């Protein structure tokens, strides 16, 4: 017999009526705050890191949670509720591209956000430099830079030389 979840003040509910367990709702809230799926699993599900195999368990649980459509729906709803939107992420991404410091965590969060929102398809950029004039190279660089700026971080792009 399937387990039936009853809505409580600690459970979540998607706009389409799917009820999340307390742990699933906590995972969604933690994930929206940090964009760190592993830490969200560890905290929401009270994972004991002293046990053998804990890391693989956490990875599997994170993957499982993020492939459940109702969890992705809830995460998108929470993102919208917390006013994290495409425009804000685009502005942050533009800042990251233009600055000269390390922003690995911010870039990771932007990539995760874009992945969740389904904003990018996998694509590759192939760079060929042999036999090109300086003008051709400058034009190609300008074209690629325009793509990156318009693509908020180049998620899914690979440069091949």
Query: Would 42 be classed as within a structural domain?
Result: yes
Q: Domain ends where: 53, 81, 109?
A: 81
Considering the chain, what is the average pLDDT of its residues?
Answer: 76
4 within some domain? no
Closest CA to 45 of 26, 68, 64, 18: 26
| Rounded Cα distance, 11 and 17, in Å | 12
CA distance 93 to 77: 22
Residues 77 and 106 reside in one and the same domain: no
Residues 76 and 96 placed together within one structural domain of the fold: no
5 closest CA partner among 75, 70, 92: 70
CB-side neighbour CA atoms (13 Å) of 22: 7
- pLDDT at residue 54, as a whole number: 96
Which domain does 142 fall in, by range?
86-160
State whether residue 126 is helix, strand or coil.
strand
Q: Could you give the C-alpha distances from 86 to 29, 80, 113, 115, in angstroms and in order? A: 19, 10, 9, 12
Q: What pLDDT score does 141 carry?
A: 74
Task: Identify which of 43-52, 116-125, 147-156 has the greatest average pLDDT.
Answer: 43-52
65, 81, 97: which is the final residue of a domain? 81
Q: Are 27 and 44 in contact (CB under 8 A)?
A: yes
Considering its fold, how many domains does the chain have in total? Answer: 2
Contact 41, 47 (CB under 8 A): yes
Top-confidence residue, 157 or 87: 87
Most confident of the ranges 56-65, 112-121, 136-145? 56-65
Say whether both 60 and 124 belong to one domain: no
- Return the ∠ at Cα 132 (arms to 157 and 127), rounded to 5°: 10
Which of 61, 81, 101 is a domain's end point? 81
Q: Tell me what pLDDT residue 50 has.
A: 96
- Residues 54, 111: one domain? no
Q: Are residues 70 and 90 in the same domain?
A: no
The predicted-structure confidence for 11-47, as pLDDT tens digits, reads as follows: 777 888 889 999 999 999 999 988 899 999 999 999 9
Q: Which tops the pLDDT comparison, 29 or 89?
A: 29
Which of 50-59, 82-91, 119-128 is most confident?
50-59
pTM of the model: 0.51
Rounded percentage of the chain residues whose pLDDT exceeds 90: 32
């Amino acid at each position: 017999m399937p387990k039936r979840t009853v809505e409580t003040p600690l459970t979540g509910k998607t706009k389409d009526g799917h009820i999340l367990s307390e742990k699933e709702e906590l995972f969604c809230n933690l994930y929206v705050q940090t964009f760190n799926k592993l830490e969200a699993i560890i905290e929401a599900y009270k994972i004991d890191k002293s046990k053998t195999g804990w890391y693989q368990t956490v990875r599997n649980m994170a993957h499982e949670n993020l492939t459940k459509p109702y969890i992705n729906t809830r995460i998108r709803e929470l993102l919208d509720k917390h006013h994290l939107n495409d425009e804000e992420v685009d502005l942050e991404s533009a800042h990251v591209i233009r600055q000269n410091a390390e922003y690995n965590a911010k870039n990771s969060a932007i990539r995760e956000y874009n992945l969740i929102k389904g904003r990018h398809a996998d694509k590759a950029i192939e760079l060929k430099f042999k036999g090109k004039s300086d003008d051709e190279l400058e034009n190609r660089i300008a074209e690629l830079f325009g793509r990156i700026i318009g693509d908020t971080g180049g998620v899914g792009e690979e440069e091949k030389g």
